[in-house]
């Protein structure tokens, strides 16, 4: 408590004692001040009267005005003036803002210049002089007159003994209450060990005993509550699931650190409020309205990695011990890894089904295609003597298109057949250099700059050499197609240790046209391509080959920024997901 009972008793009594002294002091000061002003006015009027008599005496002796002016100047009187007509003959007024016009106006109106200055003047009409002085009320000295020492001593002794009596009475009444208050403050600060000791047999002593019993019971219950609170906080802090609780109006009242981390990861920079918060609040509001549990999966963009993350969001009503609805609990978890596995399984299933279909179709189409090409060549040879130039071009175009379809069929067969890898120790740097050598002509045609950052101590891996070369060639070809003239292709090789397994991370990064976010999930699908001259099988084959060699591929891309392809190759041929 800021104000104790003792203070409440002492202050009013002291106030009642001190107030009369203060009132008397104020009255004394006011009367003393008025007396000083009166004495000062009498003194000024006397000086002006004496000066007027002196002027009349000098006039009778036919002395000049200059003598009077010199005499007045020798007096060196502050705030004194002499007016002849409208102008100053002499002016010692300290306030330079006071003009002769203001003084004349005050003389004509018979009033003071301002509340601060009191005007006193005399008129000597024979010389047309107005001699005066301004009394500055702010400069009047406040002299303290001595007070009777015996009266002052008596008043001091009375005040002293009265204060002592008031303090003793207040101490006797307030001391037990102060002890109770100290015990209360100790209990608020968490100190339950100190006991209340009031050595009295009246009601205050019994109150102290009751207070000790109450404090022991509160200490026991508080310990249980603190243990439960710490357990709940440890639980919320340790789990990776984001938890948000709201009241019945939908206002957020608590959240854990996992919720903050997930929201920050999926919050675009400079966006407020982020989309994830809107989604969470919308689902919480729906649960409050429908009073049902809602579960849904929402995609968001990971701002650090530039790819989608998926959150499994569940909202349900929160009830108290009486079964009443007191709010909503919202839990959400990052299921991106699970979603990635599901997408891989779905992609593998689609590729497997498509591979079986394309293998059957390729064999059925290839046989008649060979006959069509042979027939076209025979007809061209037999009719060569009768053909015009345009007809020969038509036959050549037919044969070219048949060859193009045959190449597509070959790619389809390569895509659909098993092609089991033949694992061997492969020099990754050497395979990469060969792939770059094959791509050198296309790079020079577009004036593409090459930047390599290769760890020299990471060279060998356990992989199918031919399939690794095909992977590199397809990825480099896609990067060259995506870039305009004078683009930059960056290649980086790093050693990566994950879950006690060694991997080789090979990164191909270009600054080309990039891939739209909504198209990223289609890039491994067969026949999906933005290249008018491409078959759309390049990345499908890459995905199939890297998976068959127990590796993984990840692609990050932003439109008009570029694309980054990350290959994860186990150094010893192991499976990354094992």
pLDDT the model gives residue 507:
93
Q: CB-based contacts of 102: which residues, under 8 Å, 6+ apart?
A: 113
pLDDT in tens, 200-210: 666 666 777 77
Mean pLDDT of 6-28: 67
Check residues 352 and 378 and name the one with the higher pLDDT. Answer: 378
Helices marked H in 189-274: 203-238, 257-265
Q: What is the 3-state secondary structure (H, E, C) of 283-334?
A: HHHHHHHHCCCEEEEEEEEECCCCEEEEEEEEEEEEECCCCCEEEEEEEEEE
Architecture per CATH, domain 239-334, reads as 2-Layer Sandwich (3.30)
Pick 90 or 338 by higher pLDDT: 90
The pLDDT score that the predictor gives to residue 55 is 79
Higher per-residue pLDDT: 303 or 106 = 106
Q: Which fold has domain 341-416?
A: Helix Hairpins (1.10.287)
Name the CA radius of gyration of the chain, rounded: 52
- Alpha-carbon separation of residue 102 from 87, 107, 114, 251 (angstroms): 11, 9, 10, 71
What would the mean pLDDT of 549-559 be, rounded to a whole number?
87
Task: Please work out, in degrees rounded to the nearest 5, the angle formed at the alpha carbon of residue 137 by the alpha carbons of 131 and 142.
Answer: 125
Q: What pLDDT is stored for residue 346 in this prediction?
A: 65
To the nearest 10°, the Cα dihedral for 213, 218, 223, 226? -170
* Start and end residues for every CATH 1.10.287.130 domain found in the chain: 341-416
Over residues 495-499, mean pLDDT: 72
Stretch(es) of the chain classified as CATH 3.30.450.20: 239-334
Band (115; pLDDT cuts 50, 70, 90): confident
Regarding predicted confidence, which is higher, 41 or 407?
41
Mean pLDDT score across all residues of the chain: 76
Are 364 and 317 spatial neighbours (Cβ–Cβ below 8 Å)?
A: no
pLDDT at 249 over 80: yes
State pLDDT tens for residues 67-91.
Answer: 778 888 888 888 888 888 888 888 8
User: Cβ(240)–Cβ(258) under 8 Å?
Assistant: yes
- Where do we find the tokens 């203001």? 102
pLDDT at 297 over 70: yes
- Class of the 424-570 domain? alpha beta
Phi, psi of 513 (to 5 degrees): -70, -20
For the chain, residues classed under CATH 3.30.565.10 are 424-570
What are the pLDDT digits (tens) for 524-549? 776 667 666 666 667 777 888 888 88
pLDDT above 80 (res 416):
no
Q: What is the mean pLDDT of residues 148-155?
A: 52
């Amino acid at each position: 408590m800021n104000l104790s009972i003792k203070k409440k008793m002492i202050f009013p009594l002291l106030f009642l004692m001190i107030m009369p002294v203060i009132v008397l002091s104020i009255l004394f000061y006011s009367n003393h001040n008025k007396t000083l002003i009166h004495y000062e006015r009498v003194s000024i009027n006397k000086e002006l009267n004496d000066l007027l008599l002196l002027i009349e005496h000098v006039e009778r002796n036919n002395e000049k005005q200059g003598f009077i002016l010199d005499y007045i100047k020798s007096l060196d009187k502050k705030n004194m003036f002499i007016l002849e007509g409208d102008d100053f003959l002499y002016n010692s007024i300290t306030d330079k803002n006071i003009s002769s016009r203001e003084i004349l106006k005050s003389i004509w109106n018979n009033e003071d210049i301002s509340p601060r200055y009191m005007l006193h003047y005399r008129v000597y009409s024979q010389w047309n002089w107005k001699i005066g002085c301004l009394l500055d009320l702010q400069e009047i000295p406040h002299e303290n007159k001595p007070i009777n020492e015996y009266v002052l001593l008596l008043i001091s002794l009375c005040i002293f003994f009265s204060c002592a009596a008031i303090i003793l009475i207040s101490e006797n009444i307030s001391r037990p209450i102060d002890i109770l208050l100290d015990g209360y403050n100790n209990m608020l600060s968490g100190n339950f060990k100190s006991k209340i000791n009031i050595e009295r047999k009246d009601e205050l002593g019994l109150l102290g005993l009751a207070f000790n019993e109450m404090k022991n019971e509160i200490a026991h219950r508080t310990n249980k509550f603190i243990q439960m609170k710490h357990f709940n906080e440890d639980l919320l802090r340790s789990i990776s699931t984001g938890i948000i609780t709201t009241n019945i109006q939908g206002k957020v009242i608590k959240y854990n650190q996992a919720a903050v981390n997930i929201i920050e990861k999926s919050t675009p920079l400079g966006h407020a409020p982020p989309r994830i918060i809107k989604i969470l609040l919308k689902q919480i509001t729906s649960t409050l309205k429908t009073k049902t549990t809602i579960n849904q999966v929402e995609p968001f963009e990971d701002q650090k990695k530039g790819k989608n993350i998926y959150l499994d969001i569940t909202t349900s009503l929160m009830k108290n011990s009486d079964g009443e609805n007191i709010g909503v609990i919202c839990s959400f978890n990052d299921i991106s890894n699970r979603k990635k596995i599901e997408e891989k399984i779905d992609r593998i299933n689609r590729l497997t089904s498509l591979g079986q279909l394309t293998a059957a179709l390729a064999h059925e189409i290839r046989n008649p295609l060979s006959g069509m090409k042979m027939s076209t060549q025979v007809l061209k040879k037999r009719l060569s003597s009768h053909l015009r130039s345009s007809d020969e071009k038509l036959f050549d175009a037919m044969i070219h298109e048949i060859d193009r379809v045959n190449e597509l069929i070959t790619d389809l067969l390569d895509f659909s057949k098993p092609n089991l890898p033949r694992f061997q120790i492969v020099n990754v740097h050497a395979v990469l250099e060969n792939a770059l050598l094959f791509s050198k002509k296309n790079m020079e045609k577009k004036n593409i700059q090459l930047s390599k950052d290769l760890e020299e101590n990471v060279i060998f891996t356990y992989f199918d050499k031919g399939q690794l070369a095909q992977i590199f060639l397809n990825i480099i070809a896609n990067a060259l197609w995506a870039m305009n003239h004078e683009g930059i292709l960056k290649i980086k090789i790093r050693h990566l240790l994950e879950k006690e397994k060694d991997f080789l991370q090979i990164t191909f990064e270009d600054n080309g046209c990039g891939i739209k976010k909504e198209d990223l999930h289609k890039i491994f699908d067969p026949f999906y391509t933005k290249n008018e001259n491409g078959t759309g099988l390049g990345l499908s084959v890459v995905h199939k080959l890297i998976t068959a060699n127990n590796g993984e591929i990840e692609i990050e891309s932003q439109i008009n920024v570029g694309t980054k392809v990350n290959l994860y190759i186990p150094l010893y041929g192991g499976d990354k997901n094992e």
